[in-house]
Amino acid sequence: MKNIWTVRFDVRNFASASLVEQDEGEGILDIAEFCPDWPDFEGQRIGKAWKMFRAELDPEKQIGNFTDIDPGVLICDAFAHSKIGEAIAEEVEVLPIQVDKLEMNVLNVINTIDCLDESRSDIEYFSDGGVASIKRYSLDTNLLTDVMLFKIPQFSRTEIYASNTFRDLVLNTSLTGLNFQNIFCS
């Protein structure tokens, strides 16, 4: 049996991060107001275009091994990376980010698989034909053999999907900060 899960952050119990940018002479700006360099993370490699971003954690919540910053983006601490890094090395690009004084990594998921069977899924479309939401997924599991993490073209900017293998790895190593929602079972 193959289960596929969406990867979500446990924002209820763990701190989220907010990007910040040093403004010349005027302190720190909230990046939500201005950050033209923050990439879209749509499954493409960022490579040498990446610059070291800074972020701050919500001081009101505990810090998890994974931190929320933007939909479709995984950020993890060094401990989490040591536990899962080798298993997902072919599916992510590791990019350094400074979160408060912690050295963390953006795990940019570059494994995009066109496995959504739109004809068998229950999908709501925008008027221009783009996918607005998916109420019931049907996936071609033949394309998901030996996959840990992936994105689909329809939601490459906002969603990360995981196999049982990745979910079990995170849960069995007691890593914190993520939730998984089952979206497909074959």
Spell out the residues 6+ positions from residue 89 whose beta carbon is closer than 8 angstroms to its own. none
User: d(Cα 34, Cα 49) in Å, to the nearest integer?
Assistant: 18
Taking CA 153 as the corner, what is the angle to CA 150 and CA 158, rounded to the nearest 5 degrees? Answer: 70
Cβ atoms within 10 Å, residue 49: 9
Query: Pairing between strand 92-99 and 74-77?
Result: unpaired
User: d(Cα 163, Cα 184) in Å, to the nearest integer?
Assistant: 10
In whole numbers, what is the pLDDT of the chain averaged over residues? Answer: 91
Mean local confidence (pLDDT), 130-143: 95
Encoded amino acid at 49, one letter: A
Of the candidates 5, 7, 29, 12, the one whose C-alpha atom is nearest the C-alpha of residue 178 is 7
pTM of the model: 0.91
Residue range 17-56, pLDDT digits in tens: 998 875 554 444 444 455 667 898 999 999 999 988 889 9
Per-residue pLDDT at 85 exceeds 90: yes
8 Å CB contact between 30 and 11: no
Tokens at residue 24, please?
Answer: 């010349």
Scored b (16 or more CB within 10 A) or e, 152-171 reads bebbbeebbbbbbbbbebbe
Cβ atoms within 10 Å, residue 112: 15
Mean local confidence (pLDDT), 58-81: 95
Per-residue pLDDT at 120 exceeds 90: yes
Mean local confidence (pLDDT), 168-176: 98
